[in-house]
Amino acid sequence: MNTTAQPWPRPSEAVRELMRKGAERAQSLPPEWIERLNQSLFSSPEDEKLLEDPVILAACRRANRSELLHWANANMQRPGEPVGVYVSADMVDTARELARRGLSEVLMNSARTTQSAAWELWMKMAFGLTQDPVLLEELLEVSSRSISEFIAGNMRVITQIVLEEKSALTHHDHIDKRSLVTRLLDGRDVDTEQLSQRLGYSLQQKHYAYVIWSEIQDAEIRPLEEMARALARLTGTAAPLIVFAGPATVWLWAGAAKPLDHSLLQGVVQQFPKIRAAIGSPAAGLNGFRRSHLEALNTQSLVGRLAGAPPVTRIDQVRMVSLMTQDARASKQFVVSTLGRLATESTVLQHALHAFLANGCNITQTAEALGTHRNTLLRRLERAQDLLPIEFADHRIQIAAALELLIWNTPLNEDDSLA
């Protein structure tokens, strides 16, 4: 499909061949390209809050990847010719969700920054494809038009989807659970008893709030709901409050009459391997309803950025890490200066020393917790301490904090489970 009414001149054969070669390289998805395009997402200060939603962030990253592949494939087959519009299912879902939130302008901002990033990457490649100034000028002219027209065509489709979603919202005046709950979370004055009846859930009780989500493509909502009910049963809640908050996100409130059993919680995690959850602390009444939910959202935002976060994370697990990661550069420097060579050594050594500190430097307890022979543990601890640039005995608190940061930022192995 030609996305512009203007004539599209055919490039010279030499430039068509250069376009094909460049597209072939782009099709291999160089890691630096993907990283640069992902960094361009929501880069303006007013859009940063969307970086806290891992579902939207994951969908946009997949969309970046698929759109790059589409453009590259088109230019391999028909180099220098107009590229047809391509809007992935991820972008359709994201556009509709942002329209419902009144944040559709964010997508327009993202398109502009993504286009700039794509052009920057392609231009660097173009200078490596030819040193002929005449060919280079034509190549850059053709490339610039191709990229801008492709993205503009995609955004025209997205704009139409947004307008249709806004129209649907305007013409459907029904009040659902999500809108009722949003009123509560916004701090508006409400009749608690009446609202409890409408929601079928007591707002006066003590609550656990959860955010349950999936970052996989085309995630179905039913498994999210099933996990929500399984989590609610852990605290004996037969009638939890479940709200569908997005295309792959569920909010859950359940009674906190009894504490969460963490061994049973791990069992729920294993039943739903592709789903993640964040849990706020138990709190009572309407203020507790809000506070626990806010804690769950903050936990979700944090674990979405930390590669080592377990599938289900409680707020009490991340309070310190949350404070320590507000300045990413300072956090990284703290880890490097405190742990030295241990920061880049085997995770087995890191986990051994971390567990030793967590168990009060008790060898027997640590060996039991890790399921490791005592002598093996002693060798690992000795090796780990040898790698430290500072004296272990004098800096245990700093070392423990640095290890905590490091472990949360290190991707989990497939065998790792809830801590």
Q: Which residues does residue 61 pair with via DSSP β-bridges, in sequence order?
A: none
**Same domain for 213 and 342?**
no
| Structural domain includes residue 189 | no
Determine the number of helices (DSSP H) and then strands (DSSP E) in the chain.
Answer: 17, 6
**Same domain for 93 and 218?**
no
Give the end of a domain, one of 261, 289, 323.
323
Domain count, the chain: 3
pLDDT at 146: 92
Q: How many Å apart are CA 123 and CA 111, to the nearest integer?
A: 18
| Structural domain includes residue 21 | yes
Its domain, for residue 157, covers 13-171
pLDDT digits (tens, 9 = 90+) for 134-188: 999 999 999 999 998 999 899 999 888 888 877 766 544 334 788 888 888 887 7
**Same domain for 302 and 283?**
yes
Do 390 and 338 touch, CB atoms closer than 8 A? yes
pLDDT at 17: 94
**Same domain for 20 and 148?**
yes
**Same domain for 343 and 319?**
no
* Distance set, CA 41 to CA 58, 352, 380 (Å): 11, 38, 42
Question: Looking at residue 41, what DSSP letter applies?
Answer: T
Question: Looking at residue 342, what DSSP letter applies?
Answer: G
Give the end of a domain, one of 271, 305, 323.
323
Q: Which residues does residue 246 pair with via DSSP β-bridges, in sequence order?
A: 249
Q: Which residues does residue 278 pair with via DSSP β-bridges, in sequence order?
A: 211, 313
| Structural domain includes residue 319 | yes
Q: Which residues does residue 241 pair with via DSSP β-bridges, in sequence order?
A: 253
Query: Mean pLDDT highest for which of 208-212, 245-249, 404-408?
Result: 208-212
Mean pLDDT of the chain: 85
**Same domain for 136 and 158?**
yes
| Structural domain includes residue 1 | no
Residue 416: pLDDT over 50: no
Residue 243: pLDDT over 60: yes
Give the end of a domain, one of 274, 301, 323.
323
Q: How many Å apart are CA 97 and CA 107, to the nearest integer?
A: 11
| Structural domain includes residue 417 | no
Residue 262: pLDDT over 90: no
Q: Which residues contact 209 (CB under 8 A, 6 or more apart)?
A: 251, 252, 253, 279, 280, 289, 292, 293, 295, 296
Q: How many Å apart are CA 346 and CA 193, to the nearest integer?
A: 55
Helical spans, DSSP H, in 101-237: 105-129, 133-171, 177-185, 192-199, 221-233
**Same domain for 401 and 359?**
yes
pLDDT digits (tens, 9 = 90+) for 200-218: 899 999 999 999 999 888 7
**Same domain for 163 and 208?**
no
Q: Tell me, what amino acid is at 280?
A: G
**Same domain for 213 and 156?**
no
Q: How many Å apart are CA 117 and CA 265, to the nearest integer?
A: 42
**Same domain for 305 and 335?**
no
**Same domain for 19 and 147?**
yes
Question: Looking at residue 8, what DSSP letter applies?
Answer: -
| Structural domain includes residue 414 | no
Q: How many Å apart are CA 274 and CA 271, to the nearest integer?
A: 9
| Structural domain includes residue 99 | yes
Residue 418: pLDDT over 70: no
CATH number of the domain at 259, please: 3.30.70.120
Do 41 and 110 touch, CB atoms closer than 8 A? yes
pLDDT digits (tens, 9 = 90+) for 62-91: 888 898 899 999 999 999 999 999 988 888
Residue 386: pLDDT over 70: yes
**Same domain for 61 and 141?**
yes
| Structural domain includes residue 87 | yes
